[in-house]
């Protein structure tokens, strides 16, 4: 058994990555309450919303208002996705001090998702990062489809490394490597994340897994072994997966936290409070979320909860 860290950092992406994939409109006050409940669970970082053009993602058109109304807990970093300079201006006006930008390592996915090629997206990343750094704003960059792509199949590792190299040169604070459709296996994590860690200090790497095919937690373990200490999750597995209807998408934050705590790795998160946030958004959306821990403790086959998950 490899040596485990004593602490890990969990980034909650449900309010942004999760809700942007919901077709139903979620009222602003529900989003605010959702974020506030997540704050009470003690998360290190919450990705609250996205300052993308409202015509692209109308579900998150109220980003500024949500930021204006949430109760900020000291110790939690509140971030937003920002696709371009216009989005950055809106984010700055809303008091955002931490942003996320994105690029795909699959040309086809980048065009499908962002309506432009990888090089054009990297140009946006360069412009937004430079402007954010001038203002002292922290920048995370998502690199999606790192472990394979439904359009292109294998994604060359050299392309992933090339993108990572440029992001490091830009001074991006954190790179979140995404398994956007849940293709990754632990072996790939060892190989690919290990290779990226040769370019980028491992403490600046995060991993964003999807559990579409059931390998997300195994991949977290491989990530820990490589030395990564930051992992993304979405409560209840909120977010689905547009490529596999009905399948689970984002790794459920409770499943991640339950495993980390069970292994003696601290996260600062109160697991029952996290379940409370998850159950709240589940009620509001009137749908059953796929997260395994959530299902285990809230039914239909729930057993009395013990303190062991804390
Ligand atoms: Mg995701």
Q: Provide the percentage of residues in the chain whose pLDDT is more than 70.
A: 93
The whole-number pLDDT of residue 245 equals 54
The whole-number pLDDT of residue 122 equals 96
Residue 279 tokens, joined: 């159950």
The whole-number pLDDT of residue 25 equals 87
The pTM for the full model equals 0.94
200 belongs to the catalytic site = no
Q: Is the pLDDT of residue 310 over 50?
A: no
The whole-number pLDDT of residue 307 equals 42
Residue 122 tokens, joined: 């990297």
Place of tokens 């491992």: 202
Give the tens place of pLDDT for each residue, 58-68: 889 999 999 99
The whole-number pLDDT of residue 57 equals 87
Q: Is the pLDDT of residue 273 over 60?
A: yes
The whole-number pLDDT of residue 244 equals 52
Residue 71 tokens, joined: 């109760």
Give the tens place of pLDDT for each residue, 162-206: 999 999 999 999 999 999 989 999 999 999 999 999 999 999 999
Distance 210 CA to ligand 1 centre (A): 6
253 to 17, 184, 220, 228: CA distances (angstroms): 13, 18, 12, 17
Distance 214 CA to ligand 1 centre (A): 14
The whole-number pLDDT of residue 113 equals 86
Which is the catalytic residue, given 141, 200, 241, 301? 241
Give the tens place of pLDDT for each residue, 228-239: 999 999 999 998
Q: Is the pLDDT of residue 304 over 50?
A: no
From 110-124, 146-160, 289-303, the region with the lowest mean pLDDT = 289-303
Cα 78 from Cα 40, distance rounded (Å)? 13
Q: What is the mean pLDDT of residues 60-79?
A: 97
159-187 b/e (C-beta count within 10 Å ≥ 16 → b): bbbebbeebbebebbbbbbbbbbbbbbbe
Distance 16 CA to ligand 1 centre (A): 9
Question: Treating both helix axes as pointing N-terminal to C-terminal, what angle do 253-262 and 216-226 enclose, rounded to 10 degrees?
Answer: 50
Q: Is the pLDDT of residue 133 over 70?
A: yes
Distance 238 CA to ligand 1 centre (A): 9
- Where residue 55 falls among pLDDT bands split at 50, 70, 90? confident
Distance 179 CA to ligand 1 centre (A): 8
Domains contained in the chain, CATH given: 9-298 (3.20.20.70)
CB-based contacts of 128: which residues, under 8 Å, 6+ apart? 82, 83, 84, 85, 87, 88, 99, 101, 139
Distance 141 CA to ligand 1 centre (A): 13
What are the start-end ranges of the E strands in 72-202? Answer: 77-81, 98-104, 138-144, 174-178
Beta partners for 80? 49, 99
Distance 103 CA to ligand 1 centre (A): 13
The whole-number pLDDT of residue 3 equals 79
Q: What is the mean pLDDT of residues 86-106?
A: 97
Nearest C-alpha neighbor of 278 from the set 248, 253, 304, 261: 253
- DSSP assignment of 135-170 equals TT-EEEEEEE-TT-BTTTBS--HHHHHHHHHHHHHH
Q: Is the pLDDT of residue 242 over 70?
A: no
Distance 160 CA to ligand 1 centre (A): 18
Q: Is the pLDDT of residue 308 over 70?
A: no
Can you list the pairs that 24-31 forms with residues at least 24 positions away whose Cβ atoms lie under 8 Å? 24/285, 25/58, 25/59, 26/59, 26/284, 26/285, 28/62, 28/65, 28/66, 28/69, 29/69, 30/281, 30/284, 31/62, 31/66
Residue 288 tokens, joined: 């059953």
């Amino acid at each position: 058994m490899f040596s485990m860290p004593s602490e890990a950092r969990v980034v909650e992406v449900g309010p942004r990555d999760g809700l942007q994939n919901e077709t139903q409109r979620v009222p602003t006050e529900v989003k605010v309450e959702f974020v506030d409940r997540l704050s009470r669970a003690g998360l290190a970082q919450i990705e609250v919303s996205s300052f993308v053009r409202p015509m692209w993602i109308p579900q998150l058109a109220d980003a500024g208002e949500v930021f204006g109304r949430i109760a900020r807990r000291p110790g939690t970093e509140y971030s937003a996705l920002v696709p371009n300079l216009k989005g950055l201006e809106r984010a700055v006006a809303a008091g955002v001090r931490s942003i996320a930008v994105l690029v795909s390592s699959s040309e086809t996915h980048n065009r499908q998702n962002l309506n432009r090629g990888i090089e054009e997206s990297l140009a946006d990343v360069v412009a937004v990062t430079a402007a954010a750094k001038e203002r002292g704003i922290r920048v995370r960059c998502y690199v999606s489809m790192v472990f394979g792509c439904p359009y292109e199949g294998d994604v060359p590792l050299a392309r992933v490394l090339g993108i990572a190299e440029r992001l490091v040169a830009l001074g991006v604070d954190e790179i979140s490597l995404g398994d956007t459709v849940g293709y990754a296996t632990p072996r790939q994590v060892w190989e690919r994340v290990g290779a990226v860690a040769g370019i980028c200090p491992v403490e600046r790497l995060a991993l964003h897994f999807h559990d579409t095919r059931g390998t997300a937690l195994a991949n977290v373990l491989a990530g820990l072994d490589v030395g990564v200490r930051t992992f993304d999750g979405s409560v209840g597995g909120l977010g689905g997966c547009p490529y596999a209807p009905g399948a689970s998408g984002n790794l459920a934050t409770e499943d991640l936290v339950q495993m980390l705590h069970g292994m003696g790795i601290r996260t600062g998160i109160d697991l029952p409070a996290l379940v409370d946030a998850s159950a709240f958004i589940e009620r509001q959306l009137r749908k059953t979320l796929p997260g395994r821990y959530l299902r285990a403790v809230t039914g239909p086959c729930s057993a009395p909860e013990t303190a062991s998950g804390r």
